[in-house]
């Protein structure tokens, strides 16, 4: 009797083990270059993607302009999630992408943020008062959110007064760190860095009205190195789906 039970258990286990082994053998990964502002959302999306598909996202984070230079110099990225739409379009025109794969995955929002509670008012009047010593802004040549910060100052007519106080970050993550550590009293950051599920997560902030800067349309594209990797297309398709959309919206982006 015990032998029959053992044989039955083994007969059930063997196909299951084979199926698991096959799934493991089929599991793949995709190398993704991600604009720094999208760090937290893509980490959440990547975790869901791996859970749902068994495939892995290997993400690198940095400034869009820096990634462009790396891609042109042969970096092994297969998918690019940029912080603008112009850089992926440029790569498209240069034949460095899979044709037809580019799309806008999010439209970002800019925020003026301080790590101090109550320091930044909800209308941005702190800029006009100009009582601070340093303001952090990302390098506009590499980071679209830095460009949007400078455009905002231009639109408000404050560039001449405030520019001498600017501390420039190489990317939006370093810019946020300048503010978080107190090296700058305030700074222009991506809303997604300080926002989750409908509220500012720390400090004080002014969400900059969209008409004060050019739209921050963020495009994704499959790069030429990813054309033969089915996981690259699978991830792009997943990014367009409802589960990813819910994550993206929760960080303050528009779709």
Sequence ranges of the binding site for molybdate = 64, 172
The answer to whether 187 and 97 have CB atoms below 8 angstroms apart is no
Q: Which residues of 89-116 are buried (b: 16+ CB within 10 A; e: fewer)?
A: eebbeeebbbeebbeebbebbbbbbbbe
The answer to whether 184 and 134 have CB atoms below 8 angstroms apart is yes
CA distance to 109, 124, 149, 167, per residue, from 209 (Å): 8, 10, 11, 23
CA distance to 109, 199, 200, per residue, from 212 (Å): 11, 22, 21
Q: Which residues are annotated as a binding site?
A: 64, 172
Whole-number Å distance between alpha carbons of 245 and 41: 10
Rg (alpha carbons) of the chain, rounded to whole number: 22
């Amino acid at each position: 009797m015990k032998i029959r039970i053992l044989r039955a258990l083994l007969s059930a286990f063997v196909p299951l083990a084979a199926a698991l082994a096959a799934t493991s053998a089929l599991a793949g990964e995709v190398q993704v270059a991600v604009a720094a502002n999208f760090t937290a959302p893509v980490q959440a999306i990547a975790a869901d993607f791996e859970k749902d598909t068994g495939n892995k996202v290997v993400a690198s984070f940095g400034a869009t302009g820096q990634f462009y230079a790396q891609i042109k110099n042969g970096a092994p990225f297969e998918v690019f999630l940029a912080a603008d739409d112009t850089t992926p379009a440029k790569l498209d025109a240069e034949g460095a992408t899979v044709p037809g794969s580019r799309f806008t995955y999010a439209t970002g929002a800019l925020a003026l943020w301080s790590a101090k509670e109550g320091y930044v008012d909800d209308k941005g009047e702190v800029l006009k008062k100009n009582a601070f010593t340093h303001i952090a802004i990302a390098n506009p040549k590499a980071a679209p959110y830095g460009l949007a910060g400078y455009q905002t100052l231009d639109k408000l007519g404050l560039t001449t007064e405030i520019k001498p106080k600017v501390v420039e970050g190489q990317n939006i993550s370093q810019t946020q760190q300048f503010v978080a550590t107190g090296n700058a009293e305030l700074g222009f950051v991506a809303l997604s860095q300080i926002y989750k599920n409908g509220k500012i997560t720390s400090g004080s902030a002014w969400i900059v009205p969209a008409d004060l800067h050019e739209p921050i349309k963020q495009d994704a594209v499959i790069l030429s190195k990813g054309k033969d990797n089915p996981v690259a297309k699978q991830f792009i398709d997943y990014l367009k789906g409802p589960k990813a959309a819910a994550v993206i919206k929760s960080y303050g982006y528009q779709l």
